[in-house]
Amino acid sequence: MSAENQLEPLRQVTCVGLCRYYKPGKREDPGCGGVEWLKLRPGLAAHLDELPEPQGDGLFGLAEDDPRLLAVCQSCEFRIDGCDFRDPEVPRGECSPCGGLRALAGLLSQGLEID
């Protein structure tokens, strides 16, 4: 199986299932910081199927300023130009976290230890 095909289950959960910004047929390269971060930790992919049903566009009960989430956002290429969620000028009601960040928040809310 190619590396691209191995990423498809990850994208199904994070992009299709959790991301407000997902556009079918359009693949960003690099992807959002959350997806890029999760790609480097393939052992977490098995746990993505265990995420609880998301409620709204939230972070599974984690605070937006959780240092573990901020660390992922700090490394994201979209943060500088293109991330409404971390842009203080964008009203909260007009944005949401990316699917990758939401997936990570879901894993953390399940009690998984993540490096």
Residue spans per domain, the chain: 3-109
Q: Where are the alpha helices (DSSP H) in the chain?
A: 3-11, 33-39, 45-48, 67-74, 99-109
Mean predicted confidence (pLDDT) in 80-107: 89
- pLDDT top residue among 59 and 55: 59
If pLDDT is split at 50, 70 and 90, which confidence band does 33 have? confident
* pLDDT single digits (tens) 103-115: 999 999 999 888 7
Cβ(99)–Cβ(76) below 8 Å: no
Using DSSP, state whether 51 is helix, strand or coil.
coil
